[in-house]
C-alpha cells in the first residue's frame, strides 16, 4: 500500500537570505523522507526579486512555492526600520495565508506550519487548524537564546535604561558575554514600536510546538545546551545545522570572476561581500578601497552603490547606477592587476569553495558565516544590521574564527586598519591559526551533517511515524 503524503507549509519572511535558508532546509527534509510534500507561502513587498524567482525554479517536484499578493506599506512613516516592514508584511498577508491553509486542509494529512522567526504571526492559522506550529530560526543558537531570554531581560532591566547603556556585558544563557550595543538592531531603542514588535515575537516563541535552529553543538555547545535544558521551560529545540546553499545561479559576472580566481595562488585572495542587501556609506567605500589597495593583497570585491542605510539593499533590488563610479578616482586603474570587481552580485558558494580564497570580509550574516566555516575561510567580521553584531561576537570571541576591526569613534573603519587586518589574515600566522580552527569546525560540521540526527527526529515528529 502506498504511504500517505504528509503536507508541510512553510511561511518565510520577505527577503532573499531567509527564504534561501528555508529552501535549503526543505530540500534536506524531503531527502530524508519521500512521504513529504512542502508548500511555500511567500509574503512579499512589491514584486518578487529576480534572485528569488530564479532559485524557486530549481525546486524539486515535492516542493511547491506560491508568492502571496504583494503587500503595500506606503502608509508607514518614512524611516520605519526594515524589521517593522518584514513583520507587517506577514501580518497583512494573514488573510491570504489563512485561505491557502484552509484549501490545503481539504485534503488529508496537513501536519505542520513552519514559520520564519519574523513570520511568527502566521502561526495563529496553525492553531486554528490544530496542526503543529514550528518556528525556523535561520540564525545562530546564540541569537535564539537571546530571543527566548529577552522577555526575562526586559523585566530585569529598568524600563528607562537602554541595553546599550549598561556598564556590564549581558550574560545570555549559555553564551559568551555581550555588550548591549552588540545586541540585535530591533532592541537598541526600547522606546520604539520596533522593540515592542520584536519583544512580542520573542514572547510568542515560548508557546510554539518546537523551534528549529540552523546551528550545531560543535560550534555552539553552550547556547544549544541552554536551549535544550528542560529547566528553562522552552519549547523543544531542534539544532539541524549546518544548512547552507550548495550551488548558485550562473551569470556572466560569476563565470568571469571564477576564471580570474583560477589564475590566482592558493589562499591568496580576499573575498569582500556584504551579503544580499548590505550597503556602505560613500566615506566607508572610500576607506575600504584605499585599505584594500594599501594591503597589497589580491581581492575580489562585490561592489554596491553607497547608501547611508546599511540594509538598503535588503528589500531593494539594485538600480541602474554603475556601482564602480562611486569608487575613488583612479582606484580601478591602480588595482587592475591586484583585484577583481563585481557589480552587485557574485556566486558566493563557488567563490568560497575556490582554493584561491584565503579570507573573507563579511557582514556576518549567518548563512555566510556557516559557508565560511564549511570552506575553512577566516573571517574579517564587518557587521552591518539585524543580528550581525551578535554573530560577529560569536565568531570572534566565542569560536574564535574571525578578527573584528575596531573602527574609529564614529564607527568608520579606516584604511590603515583595513590594510593591516587584511594582511594579518592573508599572510600572517594569525590567518593560518584561524584557518586551522575553521578546519576543526568543518570536520565537526560534516560529521553532524552526515548523521542528520536532529533533522531526522524533526521529520519523525512531523510525519508522526
Is 165 annotated in the active site?
A: no
> How far apart are the C-alpha atoms of 388 and 263, rounded to whole Å?
33
**Coil, strand, or helix at residue 452?**
coil
Query: Can you read off the three cell numbers belonging to residue 269?
Result: 585572495
**What is the full DSSP assignment across 125-145?**
HHHHHT-EEEEEE-S-HHHHH
> How far apart are the C-alpha atoms of 210 and 461, rounded to whole Å?
10
CB-based contact 110:133 (threshold 8 Å):
no
Specify whether the backbone of 452 is left (phi greater than 0), alpha (psi in -120 to 50) or beta.
Answer: left
H or E stretch covering 331: helix 331-334
* Residues forming a β-bridge with 273: 362
Count the helix, strand and coil residues of the chain and give each as a percent rounded to the nearest 5: 45, 15, 40
Which among 358, 409, 328, 316 is positioned nearest to 47, based on CA atoms? 316
**Coil, strand, or helix at residue 107?**
coil
Query: Can you read off the three cell numbers belonging to residue 253?
Result: 559576472
> Which residue is it, cell 570536520?
443
CA angle 177, 179, 184 (to 5 degrees): 105
Is 18 annotated in the active site?
A: yes
Give, in order, the Cα–Cα distances in Å from 131 to each of 9, 111, 463. 10, 5, 12
Most distant CA pair in the chain, distance = 71
> How far apart are the C-alpha atoms of 139 and 36, rounded to whole Å?
25
Query: Can you read off the three cell numbers belonging to residue 124?
Result: 495563529
Which among 191, 241, 238, 195 is positioned nearest to 216, based on CA atoms? 241
Catalytic entry in 37, 116, 121, 354: 116
- DSSP H helical ranges for 81-138: 82-91, 94-104, 123-129
**Coil, strand, or helix at residue 402?**
strand
Torsion angles phi and psi, residue 202, rounded to 5: -65, -35
> How far apart are the C-alpha atoms of 359 and 293, rounded to whole Å?
16
Give the pairing of strands 379-381 and 402-403.
parallel
Active site residues: 18, 116
Amino acid at each position: 500500500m502506498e504511504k500517505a503524503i504528509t503536507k508541510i507549509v512553510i511561511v518565510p519572511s520577505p527577503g532573499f537570505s531567509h527564504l534561501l535558508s528555508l529552501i535549503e532546509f526543505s530540500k534536506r527534509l524531503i531527502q530524508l523522507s519521500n512521504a513529504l510534500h512542502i508548500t511555500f507561502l511567500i509574503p512579499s513587498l512589491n514584486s518578487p526579486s529576480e534572485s528569488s524567482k530564479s532559485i524557486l525554479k530549481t525546486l524539486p517536484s515535492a516542493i511547491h512555492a506560491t508568492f502571496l499578493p504583494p503587500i503595500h506599506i506606503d502608509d508607514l512613516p518614512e524611516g520605519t526600520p526594515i524589521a517593522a516592514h518584514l513583520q507587517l508584511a506577514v501580518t497583512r498577508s494573514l488573510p491570504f495565508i489563512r485561505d491557502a491553509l484552509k484549501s490545503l486542509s481539504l485534503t488529508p494529512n496537513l501536519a505542520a506550519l513552519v514559520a520564519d522567526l519574523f513570520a511568527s504571526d502566521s502561526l495563529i492559522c496553525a492553531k486554528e487548524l490544530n496542526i503543529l506550529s514550528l518556528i525556523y530560526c535561520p540564525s545562530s543558537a546564540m541569537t535564539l537564546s537571546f530571543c527566548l531570554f529577552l522577555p526575562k531581560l526586559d523585566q530585569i532591566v529598568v524600563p528607562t535604561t537602554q541595553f546599550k547603556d549598561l556598564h556590564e556585558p549581558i550574560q545570555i544563557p549559555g553564551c559568551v558575554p555581550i555588550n548591549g550595543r552588540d545586541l540585535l538592531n530591533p532592541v537598541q531603542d526600547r522606546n520604539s514600536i520596533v522593540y515592542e514588535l520584536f519583544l512580542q515575537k520573542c514572547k510568542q516563541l515560548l508557546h510554539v510546538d518546537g523551534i528549529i535552529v540552523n546551528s550545531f553543538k560543535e560550534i555552539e555547545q553552550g547556547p544549544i545546551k541552554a536551549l535544550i535544558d528542560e529547566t528553562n521551560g522552552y519549547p523543544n529545540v531542534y539544532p539541524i545545522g549546518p544548512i547552507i546553499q550548495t550551488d548558485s545561479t550562473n551569470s556572466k559576472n560569476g563565470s568571469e570572476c571564477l576564471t580570474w580566481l583560477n589564475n590566482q595562488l592558493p589562499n591568496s585572495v580576499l573575498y569582500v561581500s556584504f551579503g544580499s542587501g548590505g550597503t556602505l556609506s560613500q566615506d566607508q567605500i572610500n576607506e575600504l578601497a584605499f585599505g584594500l589597495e594599501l594591503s597589497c593583497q589580491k581581492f575580489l570585491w562585490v561592489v554596491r552603490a553607497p547608501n547611508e542605510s546599511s540594509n538598503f539593499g535588503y528589500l531593494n533590488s539594485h538600480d541602474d547606477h554603475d556601482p564602480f563610479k562611486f569608487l575613488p578616482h583612479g582606484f580601478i586603474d591602480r588595482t587592475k592587476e591586484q583585484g577583481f570587481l563585481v557589480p552587485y552580485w557574485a556566486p558566493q558558494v563557488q567563490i568560497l569553495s575556490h582554493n584561491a580564497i584565503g579570507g573573507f570580509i563579511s557582514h556576518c550574516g549567518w548563512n555566510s558565516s556557516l559557508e565560511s566555516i564549511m570552506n575553512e575561510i577566516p573571517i574579517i567580521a564587518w557587521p552591518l544590521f539585524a543580528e550581525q553584531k551578535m554573530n560577529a561576537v560569536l565568531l570572534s570571541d566565542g569560536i574564535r574564527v574571525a578578527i573584528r576591526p575596531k573602527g574609529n569613534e564614529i564607527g568608520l573603519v579606516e584604511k590603515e586598519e583595513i590594510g593591516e587586518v587584511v594582511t594579518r589574515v592573508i599572510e600572517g600566522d594569525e590567518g593560518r591559526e584561524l584557518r586551522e580552527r575553521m578546519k576543526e569546525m568543518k570536520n565537526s560540521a560534516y560529521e553532524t551533517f552526515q548523521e542528520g540526527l536532529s533533522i531526522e527526529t524533526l521529520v519523525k515528529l512531523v510525519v508522526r511515524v
